[in-house]
Amino acid sequence: LIPVFILGIVCILSSLGAVSNIRKVNKNATQIANGYMNCISDLGDIQKETLLIHQLALSHIVATDFDTMVNLVATIRGEEAVLEEELDKFEKSYVTEGNKKSYNQLVESYEGLKHEIANLMAYSAGGKNEKAYALANGAITEHSNSMQAAIDAIQADVNITDLYHFGRSAREVRHT
C-alpha cells in the first residue's frame, strides 16, 4: 500500500508542476500576442502610411488638372496627420532606451520626407515635372529607405528584447 501512496504523491506533484508550466507558457504567449504582435502591427501601419504618402505624391506629378492636384494635396496632408498620430502612439507605447535612437531616425527621416514632398508638389504644380521626378527618385526615395531601415532596426530590437525576456540571452539570440 505504501508504493501506491508514493505513486499518488508523485502524480499529484507532477500534475502541479505541469499546471505551473502551462500557466508560464500561457503568460508568455499572452505577452507575445499583446506586446510584440501589436508593436509589429503598428510598425506595419507606419510603413503602410509612408508608402501611401509616397504614392500620392507621385500621383500629384501625373495629375493633369488643378482640382485633382488640390484634392491630392488635401489627401496627402490628411495621411501625414494619420502618420504623425501613428508615430506619437508608437512612441508612447513601444519606444524604449534600446530603440530610441532608431525611433528618432524614423521621425527625422519622416520630417525630411514631408519637406521634400512639399517641394515635389510645388514643382509639380508649377509644371516642373522633371524636377519633381528627380526629387521623387532622389531625396524622397532616400528618406523612404532611411525610414524603412529605422523600422527594421526597431523590429530587430523588439525581437531581441522579447526573446531575452523569455529566457534566452541577447547573446544567444544574436548567434541564431
69 close to 124: Cβ distance less than 8 angstroms: yes
Is the pLDDT higher at 170 or at 150? 150
Q: What is the pLDDT of residue 94?
A: 84
The answer for residues whose C-beta is within 8 angstroms of residue 82's C-beta and 6 or more apart is 49
Q: Which of 20-29, 110-119, 136-145, 164-173 has the lowest mean pLDDT?
A: 164-173
Q: Rounded to an integer, what distance in angstroms lies between the CA atom of residue 120 and that of residue 124?
A: 6
pTM: 0.73
What average pLDDT does this structure show over 139-153?
A: 92
Q: Which long-range contacts (CB under 8 A, 24 or more apart) does 166-171 make?
A: 166/28, 166/32
Q: Which residue has the cell 525611433?
A: 103
Identify the CA nearest to 53 among candidates 115, 104, 123.
Answer: 115
Residues 6+ apart with CB under 8 A from 69: 60, 63, 121, 124, 125
- 80-128 per-position pLDDT tens digit: 999 999 999 999 888 888 889 999 999 999 999 999 999 999 999 888 9
Q: How far apart are CA 3 and CA 11, in angstroms?
A: 12
Q: How far apart are CA 153 and CA 147, in angstroms?
A: 10
Helix 100-125 and helix 37-62: axis angle, to 10°? 20
